[in-house]
Amino acid sequence: MGKITDPIYKQVLERNKHEPEFHQAVKEVLDSIEPALEKHPEFVDAGIVERIVEPERVIHFRIPWVNDKGKVQVNRGFRIQFNGAIGPYKGGMRFHPSVYDGILKFLAFEQLFKNALTGLPMGGGKGGSDFDPKGKSDGEVMRFCQSLMTELYKYIDADFDVPAGDIGVGGREIGYMFGQYRKIKNVFHGVLTGKAPEYGGSLGRPEATGYGAVWFAEEMIKARGDKAGIKDKVCLVSGSGNVAQFTVELVNKLGGKCITISDSTGFIIDKAGIDKKKLAYVMNLKNVKRGRISEYAKKYDGVEYYTYNEHKDLKSPWYVPGATVAFPSATQNEVDLEETKALVKNGIIAVSEGANMPTVSEGVDYFIEKKISFGPGKAANAGGVATSGLEMSQNSLRLAWSKDEVLGRLHKIMINIHDTAYKTAEEFGQPGNYVIGANIAGFLKVAKAMLAQGVI
């Protein structure tokens, strides 16, 4: 940390006690932007950094609902409207028992810079609940989503704050929330993204985050001088949800091979590769049957399955040898320093973060020190929110673009994000450091908008 940002970081620690994920996300950005602040004293004078680390608004609410046994349940609901300087607040809703202010503040803060990098007019927001959809019936999930929206509708709007999905929130949950919003507000507009195409969703949105992470990896590999990109590369993927599934799909289409996927219980190693047919099985298993990834190993021959730390050497997907690209696509801090070292030792050349902040800070530093092309989540997984931005545009225009049109635009956006991060890193004397490049480029856009709008 530098002399400008150090006291601000200390204040963040003081004001946001017991929120380590938020501290980690702020530290990563503040660590990067000191050179930009030295170049732009007007940002320092206007207190931009003090303001950018403080959410504009934090909303907490109660979500009461009745389970299938007729018993009243109470969950907590949150929406964090972190910064709206460059556009309506935008960011997903996460349903997971671990959800609390610290996780949502980290996600909303990351989202701000990510959204700036897409080049689209979207501010940073995030929300969610400590509700666990696992093991709940469709009826329970619906009643929960309806109760959540009965409160949340007061604070969101298509031109003000547009939530989307995240962990635990897919098409089913978005549908229930949208239905309740429409019923209460008597309007049909794009207040949520990630909708199904039948009622205003964008084609290509389910694919967007995973595809974007693969396109970002492809650009990083090409920037290293390897024009083949993903073709013939063996890849490690974690998670088996939305991001992981479409990461595997595009790697396959580009001629690469994924040999791992995981869930919160364990991971599989399939040396033959998770081909199109096996991926269809995973999609059905996870999206329809809502089963466990261990079932994959029972279904296909030659597949190993382990729970975490069960095997003496292969403690997680990150210890599996023989790969050159890694896509952490499950959750925050899923790659620790020891795993980072294992990846480097096994010859990984590029890491593209499909998840948000999946690598611990020391691991990020290690990758950069070892000259691994490391695409931080706020750049590498920006394809999801970029396509949400395209969904907002289509809703405002009352038009629906073809899948090719959407994915064509997304591909260009990912190339632009890569080039912006790459060139900004070079400009600030850190060639190849996508963390510095993405943080500074995202920061400059938001800071300029905040400066122009005065002290608000």
Give me the residues that bind ligand NDP (CB under 6 A), please. Answer: 165-168, 209, 239-243, 262-265, 329-331, 334, 354-356, 381, 384
Q: Which DSSP string corresponds to 354-405?
A: -SSS-B-HHHHHHHHHTT-EEE-HHHHTTHHHHHHHHHHHHHHHT----HHH
Residues 305 and 307: their CA atoms lie apart, in Å, by 7
H-assigned helices in 64-118: 101-118
Q: Min. distance of Cβ 334 from ligand NDP in angstroms?
A: 6
Extract the tokens encoding 372: 């691994």
Q: Min. distance of Cβ 5 from ligand NDP in angstroms?
A: 26
Residues 1 and 34: their CA atoms lie apart, in Å, by 8
Sign, CA torsion 391/235/351/255: negative
| Spatial contact of 212 and 418, defined as CB atoms under 8 Å apart | no
Catalytic residue among 90, 105, 114, 126: 126
Residues 256 and 306: their CA atoms lie apart, in Å, by 24
β-sheet with 257-262: strand ranges across:
303-307, 266-270, 257-262, 234-237, 325-327, 350-352, 373-375
What are the E-state strand segments in 67-142? 72-83, 89-95, 123-129
216 vs 428, which CB is nearer to ligand NDP? 216
318 vs 428, which CB is nearer to ligand NDP? 318
Q: Min. distance of Cβ 269 from ligand NDP in angstroms?
A: 15
51 vs 409, which CB is nearer to ligand NDP? 409
Please say if 315 is a catalytic residue: no
Extract the tokens encoding 444: 């400059």
Give the DSSP H or E segment for 155: none
Q: Show which residues are catalytic.
A: 126
